[in-house]
Structure 1
């Protein structure tokens, strides 16, 4: 009996290795959400790549049909945004995210059999319902695992994975068209959807088996989950305790509505990402691919040249994350205003001389800087709304939802295929959203400072500090985290 008690005491007092735990979180949490977002963009951008690689002619798309098909996708994306985030609060994220990946993978496969524009619209709508779980849902999950000092880099890696997927899809379409076009009587663009499906299914299975979900509702006891083999119960408890305290009395019920509406978070973060999302519209609506097609560039050039925009997006996203992580006086609004200035320059360049290749190429590639806003604004909202889990879920989803709602008609009004190659209306619209996003970002910072001055500071207690043993090897990390929290308060 005495030996048994001694063994239990040893287990309880065993310290959690912080660095090793963070490594495992990155390995199993970050890897799945990045793979999911990567294939999400491979599947999503594949539609545009198929359009400029023969689908337009084969299905007899006319005028703004491509914009209408993209709007159908956007509508589905909007409708699925908040429901998906709320489902993640009550259902195991491991199961739901894996199921959504599996579902949109099947719909991607269905695209290879389409014979009309109307069928494309229907499939794209349902694809979007399931794909809408990825972006804001992942930011919700990242905020449940990572500290403020850790979020910028992880958010940047996550958003960059989607951009890499966009680049990959373009290169893959060229390779598929060169090697498989006409094989078994199928056009090259149809093979693209088949191969996308073949890549999506293993990622869905990987998530179902290895993704742990969130620390407070981990899948360690699930029959089909591998989490119990990689995370101890003590590590999962520590993963939750190592984050700042939040109000645990809040619940997912009707009380969340007045809580959300009476705070500025939902209003201002939704508005600023509407503006930030439309700063991205130059790239997200594939204006460069349409311009290249209009200017009679070759098939390989139409697929490959736009990849440079996503490459700039990856670099700018990572540089902004390094800035927020390494520079003591860094602030999220610094990056937001920098993006605003760059996008103003892009708008002026396109309006000045859209026919000149050197001007359009430079403007389009510079426009990739706007992708850094994805990581910056959502990480910012994660930090500001940390105290209320349900509010955070709604704010993150609403940011993406309202941005998509505006983009559903914004792309047709300002960046329609019929406006190629001048994009006159789009240039003026981009100039307006760029200036506005910078101003709103500064105002959000003022509101954040006001809240920080009113908030009662709670002392942070490390879960390992409750034990009698020392953990001197991680003192530097704790001091850095404290410094980051102080700098951003």
Structure 2
């Protein structure tokens, strides 16, 4: 088959029959619109904390030293604590109830931020916001893995991840507009209005989720899917006998599985290669520049190029690795190369402002690992029990967050601006480690797949059997 024909076939809604294509179109609309809007709003507020900081909040609330970094660390701690409980909660509370409820809590706390008068109040608020937001990323990847086939998953994961980057990018423009048009309105500073607006727009999205989110294939009762479509959805992905997930036997299965160690460590390393972007270093570099004074609009608008690069890179790599048959490992090598080169550009004695900007923009391309690595985990665990997949995915993000809670203070504290020399060297180390670990996980995936095939387990979607984590096989439910 010609490459062009194969690519056009890949970009189609999915499936070999008209009924399956119609089903995938419905899933794309109702799952992706809600999840992407939810993630967009999460990241809009995340990025707007830094936007507010450089737009007057620092002076109004009398921030000292690395208090902004401490707030981000407190947020990370709450985020880590909430990861696994959030994914476990999806077994007991329907996603169409749980996700929108957490979004409402998030939105209300965002609006409360507008009333704060000191950094310590923001710390407390951000901790509880993190608990609410912890369900979004890992929960959505769990849901995507439950509905979509291996051929479809990367592209959808990429679109979802890109929506968060869009929130980061658009946040700067929103802050610029609010600062110019609402600063001083009703006696409130522009940065306070920013949080009020962010919180209010969460409410209609939450209502949409309550009404139309489809839950999972085995529990969905939404009116827009017929019984035939529900059965088709259940047949598209492997089914498993679910053993009681939350007992000592399950804990031993988790910690006895290479998937847990392989993918959790993969994301811990990869998560730190995002540090240039996730810690908003370009904005802090500009704010602390020793020679140039940037206007508020420039401080908010120029860094939006970083997530813009991230969006393009995410969609490109997610689509390419789908098209190449799920070769997600390629992204690990790209990120390793990018981390080393961009770090060298920043460290170079001859580095100029232009080359530093270029390095930070290029570094935004490492965001591609979010979509592809979580799709990789979903792919690798496709024939395992759902509870293991849920815990591994949640543990990946929890592990990364646990490291990032102290990593950002040690290497990317706000008072290290503008050079962040210590952090740049750490980036080189992470990039080398990622290349090595990616090769190891790739080898384990190939070895496990060969073992599964040699045992006669069906490899196609909807296959008859699945290997359990302890090496046995479960009959299809």
Equivalence map 1:291-440=2 (5 Å): 291-295=285-289, 296-328=293-325, 331-353=327-349, 356-386=352-382, 387-440=384-437
Report if the CA contact (8 A) 2:339-2:363 is conserved.
yes
Bigger CA drift: 330-339 or 392-401?
Answer: 330-339
- Counterpart of 2:90 (choices 88, 91, 96) is 88
Q: Name the structure 1 match of 2:165.
A: 163
Q: Name the structure 1 match of 2:150.
A: 148
Runs of 5+ consecutive residues of structure 2 not aligned to the other structure: 1-16, 463-477
Residues 51 and 355 of structure 1, relative CA distance in 2, 3 Å threshold: farther
Shift of 1:215: 1.1
CA distance in structure 2 between the partners assigned to 1:285 and 1:164 by the alignment:
16
CA distance in structure 1 between the partners assigned to 2:461 and 2:416 by the alignment:
57
Report if the CA contact (8 A) 1:317-1:372 is conserved.
yes
Residues 70 and 403 of structure 1, relative CA distance in 2, 3 Å threshold: same
CA distance in structure 1 between the partners assigned to 2:232 and 2:385 by the alignment:
20
- Counterpart of 2:70 (choices 58, 68, 71) is 68
Q: Name the structure 1 match of 2:230.
A: 236
Shift of 1:359: 1.4
CA distance in structure 2 between the partners assigned to 1:205 and 1:123 by the alignment:
23
Residues 33 and 172 of structure 1, relative CA distance in 2, 3 Å threshold: same
Q: Name the structure 2 match of 1:41.
A: 43
Report if the CA contact (8 A) 2:340-2:427 is conserved.
yes
CA distance in structure 2 between the partners assigned to 1:238 and 1:176 by the alignment:
47
CA distance in structure 2 between the partners assigned to 1:385 and 1:250 by the alignment:
18
Deviation by residue 1:197-255 (Cα, 9 ceiling, x = unmatched): 1111111111111111111122x2xxxxxx22x11122112201111343444644332
Q: Name the structure 1 match of 2:272.
A: 278
Residues 432 and 247 of structure 1, relative CA distance in 2, 3 Å threshold: farther
Equivalence map 1:98-109=2 (5 Å): 98-109=100-111
Shift of 1:335: 1.6
Three-state SS of the structure 1 residue aligned to 2:393 is: helix
Runs of 5+ consecutive residues of structure 1 not aligned to the other structure: 1-14, 221-226, 464-489
Residues 115 and 445 of structure 1, relative CA distance in 2, 3 Å threshold: same
Shift of 1:461: 7.8
Shift of 1:319: 0.8
Q: Would you say 1:444 and 2:441 are equivalent positions?
A: yes
CA distance in structure 2 between the partners assigned to 1:156 and 1:143 by the alignment:
13
CA distance in structure 2 between the partners assigned to 1:383 and 1:252 by the alignment:
23
Q: Name the structure 1 match of 2:468.
A: none
Shift of 1:460: 6.7
Residues 149 and 342 of structure 1, relative CA distance in 2, 3 Å threshold: same
Q: Name the structure 1 match of 2:218.
A: 216
CA distance in structure 1 between the partners assigned to 2:241 and 2:436 by the alignment:
31
CA distance in structure 2 between the partners assigned to 1:156 and 1:266 by the alignment:
23
CA distance in structure 2 between the partners assigned to 1:290 and 1:259 by the alignment:
44
CA distance in structure 2 between the partners assigned to 1:97 and 1:342 by the alignment:
35
Residues 460 and 363 of structure 1, relative CA distance in 2, 3 Å threshold: closer
How many residues are treated as equivalent by the alignment? 440
Residues 393 and 462 of structure 1, relative CA distance in 2, 3 Å threshold: closer
Q: Would you say 1:182 and 2:221 are equivalent positions?
A: no
Three-state SS of the structure 1 residue aligned to 2:151 is: coil
Deviation by residue 1:164-211 (Cα, 9 ceiling, x = unmatched): 011111100000000000000000000000110111111111111111
Give the TM-score, by structure 2 length: 0.90
Shift of 1:44: 1.2
Give the TM-score, by structure 1 length: 0.88
